[in-house]
Structure 1
Amino acid sequence: MDIFQEYFFQRALLGGLLIGLTAPLMGVFLVLRRLSMIGDTLSHVSIAGVALGFLINVYPIGVGLVFALLASFGIEKLRKAYKSYAELSIAIIMSGGVALATLLFTLGKGFNINVMSYFFGSIYTLDRTDLWVVSGVAVLVTAFVAFNYKEMFLLFFDEEAAGVSGLPLRFYNIMITMMTALVISASIKIVGALLVSSLLTIPVACSLLVARSFKRSIFWAILFSEVAVSLGLISAGIWDLPPGATVVLMLISVLITLLAFKRGWRT
């Protein structure tokens, strides 16, 4: 197929596969901690950073990344202040992100079209700088999980025991939120801010239907994500469809198929 010979599609496929690896890798830990909505929160804050980047003529994804990192610190601070209402921190930061983005949209009416592309994704416009950012985030997140796998496993399944054993809970909580912020910031140009949380959660939802252990759930989540990203981008390229939406719909199709099979097995 001629589309595979196009450099823009090769960059899109490489960027998609890298995010297809890192998003579900962090998503497994977020879902198990019941923090699935953190993706929506950080993506809205990232969009505010992107809007500011266009306004001050600085690399938008870089500014969005900084905003997401600051938001991750804010979430952890609020979670500490509202220990019994952890989800409140997510709602507060999301509200602030939406409000700030709205304000920046108003100030920069001339670049609204460019910013809107980050809402729905513009994977075909990935340039070399974008790929370096996505690759760096992929390496950093994968290395963090690989070197801290045992500690994170203990933290997510028994936080009290992890604290008693001397595990620095605050450090790991902040690092996990920061890694998630990096993944989301790197993903918004690929699948868009409105869909980025889908890559964090839907592959994990699929994996939980077939996996029988924590390690296998990570493997299946990444596999489902990579398959959906590959098939979604190829389908979008061939039939001229929106790539971000096609990838997410492909994931939902996989989830529906697994649910149907699982229901069939039970009957």
Structure 2
Amino acid sequence: MSFLDYDFMQRALVAAVLTGLAAPAVGTYLVQRRLALMGDGLGHVALTGVAIGLATGWAPVWTSVAVAVLGALAIDVVRAKGRASADVALAMLFYGGIAGGVLITGLAGSTAATLNTYLFGSITTVSADDLWVVAVLAVVVIALAVGLAPQLFAVCQDEEFARVSGLPVRLYSMLIAVMAAVTVTVAMRTVGLLLVSALMVVPVATSQQLTRSFRTTFALALALGLVPSVAGVMFSYYVDVAPGASIVVASLIGFILAWPVGSLLRRRRAASTANGEDPRVTGAHVPAERHPHQHDPECGHPAVEHDDHTDYLHDGHLHAAHGRHYDEH
């Protein structure tokens, strides 16, 4: 009998696919901002939200979303105001979130076993209602991560440059924080709150070993999040182990396999550069008669003025007109 004949496994696979895509989609921006551990901090804060839901009888998924969003915004405000570093803010979330969750759960009369479902994940117990919530939240997160990729990349790469370009940096910064909080909630039933950060970071780190541009890193990270998620669920079914742990271990195996390949690619690029070659150029340069995206004051892309030319921010890169072609950097 195939595992797809079971309704709970069908729901588990759908949840794994959604989580495997949403987590690295947001994780790409967190890694770019050097906030790789933000998922851990938000996971601990979301535990307090789960405890509030259990104590009040409300749906834990919604209370955890609310609390995680508040925690994410708090991190962003503290980081932006400069009153404490990001790692200090994350540490406070670590301690406060886990302590609040355990305390509220104890006061409500619930047992520690109740929290284990959310701490370590329980993807095979995802109900149809849970799946609808996960699907809606994941689709929104993925749509924002893909649709606003150029703007979010600019903010993560260089806030000052993004601000000069006219982008609302504070708004996009808060949006990234909220997306991270929602992703943590989406993944808590799949890999658990304690392991959610791994699915947000490891696929991105693996992708960075093999790629150079943001676009290819982003696309490959989604694939590297999807494959281990599905493989982990299938492995857990046949071997009878925790799905969350299986997913994370599969992701780590991918990183271990990619690391030597990435090292080889970097050595080849370094050797090409030492010989005066640009490893990004695979053939003779032929200036294009027309750039696919013409840039001028009316093109709608953010302009960055320089002394001798004007760059236009497009698709996460700066495009500048040079003669009959455009340079991208």
Q: TM-score, normalised by structure 2?
A: 0.78
In the other structure, the counterpart of 1:132 is: 132
1:172-191, aligned counterparts within 5 Å?
Answer: 172-191=172-191
In the other structure, the counterpart of 1:8 is: 8
In the other structure, the counterpart of 2:118 is: 118
Q: Is the 8 A contact 1:18 1:138 kept in 2?
A: yes
Q: 1:83 offset after TM fit, Å?
A: 5.7
Separation (CA, whole Å) in 2 of partners of 1:153 and 1:262: 23
Structure number with bigger Rg: 2
Separation (CA, whole Å) in 1 of partners of 2:262 and 2:208: 11
Letter in 2 for 1:222: L
Q: Is the 8 A contact 1:45 1:97 kept in 2?
A: yes
Letter in 2 for 1:258: A
1:98-109, aligned counterparts within 5 Å?
Answer: 98-109=98-109
In the other structure, the counterpart of 1:248 is: 248
Separation (CA, whole Å) in 1 of partners of 2:19 and 2:176: 16
1:167 match: secondary structure: coil
1:166-205, aligned counterparts within 5 Å?
Answer: 166-205=166-205
Structure number with higher helix proportion: 1
Change (3 A) 1:70 1:159: same
Q: Is the 8 A contact 2:21 2:226 kept in 1?
A: yes
2:40 match: secondary structure: helix
Q: Is the 8 A contact 1:82 1:88 kept in 2?
A: no
Q: Is the 8 A contact 2:54 2:105 kept in 1?
A: no
Separation (CA, whole Å) in 2 of partners of 1:262 and 1:58: 47
Q: Is the 8 A contact 2:120 2:192 kept in 1?
A: yes
Separation (CA, whole Å) in 1 of partners of 2:104 and 2:220: 40
Q: Which moved more, 1:176-185 or 1:140-149?
A: 140-149
What are the ranges of 5 or more consecutive residues in structure 1 without an aligned counterpart? none
Q: 1:99 offset after TM fit, Å?
A: 2.1
In the other structure, the counterpart of 2:304 is: none
1:34-45, aligned counterparts within 5 Å?
Answer: 34-45=34-45
In the other structure, the counterpart of 1:50 is: 50
Q: Is the 8 A contact 1:24 1:201 kept in 2?
A: yes
Give CA-to-partner distance per residue, 1:98-133, whole Å, 9 cap, x none: 221121132134343121211110000101111111
Give CA-to-partner distance per residue, 1:66-98, whole Å, 9 cap, x none: 110111121122113326723222222222212
Give CA-to-partner distance per residue, 1:160-214, whole Å, 9 cap, x none: 1111122111101111100110010111111111110001000001100111211
Q: Which moved more, 1:82-91 or 1:133-142?
A: 82-91
Separation (CA, whole Å) in 2 of partners of 1:177 and 1:91: 16
Structure scoring higher RCO (CA < 8 A, sep ≥ 6) equals 1
Separation (CA, whole Å) in 2 of partners of 1:244 and 1:41: 18
Separation (CA, whole Å) in 1 of partners of 2:107 and 2:122: 23
Q: TM-score, normalised by structure 1?
A: 0.95
In the other structure, the counterpart of 1:160 is: 160
Letter in 1 for 2:224: F
Separation (CA, whole Å) in 2 of partners of 1:95 and 1:242: 26
1:136-155, aligned counterparts within 5 Å?
Answer: 136-155=136-155
Q: 1:136 offset after TM fit, Å?
A: 0.9
Separation (CA, whole Å) in 1 of partners of 2:262 and 2:148: 33
Structure number with higher strand proportion: 2
Letter in 2 for 1:138: A
Separation (CA, whole Å) in 2 of partners of 1:110 and 1:226: 34
Separation (CA, whole Å) in 1 of partners of 2:213 and 2:77: 32
Q: Is the 8 A contact 1:82 1:89 kept in 2?
A: no
Report % sequence identity: 34
Q: Which moved more, 1:175-184 or 1:135-144?
A: 135-144
Give CA-to-partner distance per residue, 1:46-72, whole Å, 9 cap, x none: 111111111111111111111101111
